[in-house]
Homo-oligomer: A and B are copies of this chain.
Amino acid sequence: MTTQTTSAERRTPLSRDRVMRAALALVDEGGMGALTMRRLGRSLGVEAMALYRHVTNKDEIVDGLVDLVFEEIGAPADGVGWKSAMRQRAISLREVLTRHRWAVGLMESRPNPGRANLRHHDAVIGNLRAAGFDMAMAAHAYALLDAYIYGFAMTHMALPFDTATPGEVAEMAEGMLRAFPVNEFPNLAAFISEHAMHPGYDFGDEFEFGLDLILDGLERASTEPSR
Contacts and interface: CB of A to CB of B under 8 A. Distances in A.
Nearest to A221: B213
Interface in A134-170: 135-136, 138-140, 143-144, 146-152, 154-155, 157-158, 160
Interface of A: prevailing SS: helix
A186 interface: yes
A105 B214 CA distance: 23
A206 B129 CA distance: 18
Contact of A155 (B135, B147, B203): B147
Q: In this complex, which of A105, A186, A187, A194 has the most chain B Cβ atoms within 10 angstroms of its Cβ?
A: A187
Contacts of A221: 213
A136 to B, nearest CB: 7
Interface in A199-213: 203, 206, 209-210, 213
A143 B188 contact: no
Contact of A195 (B139, B149, B209, B216): B139
Nearest to A128: B187
B218 A154 contact: no
A159 to B, nearest CB: 9
Q: Which interface class (under 10, 10 to 19, 20 to 34, 35 or more) fits A?
A: 35 or more
A109 interface: yes
Contact of A140 (B105, B194, B196, B210): B210
Interface in A95-150: 105, 108-111, 115, 118-119, 121-123, 125-126, 129, 135-136, 138-140, 143-144, 146-150
A158 B112 CA distance: 11
Given A188-B121, A194-B135, A147 B144 contact: no
Nearest to A213: B217
In the A-B complex, the 6 residue pairs with the closest CB atoms: A151-B151, A147-B151, A144-B210, A147-B152, A126-B187, A109-B158
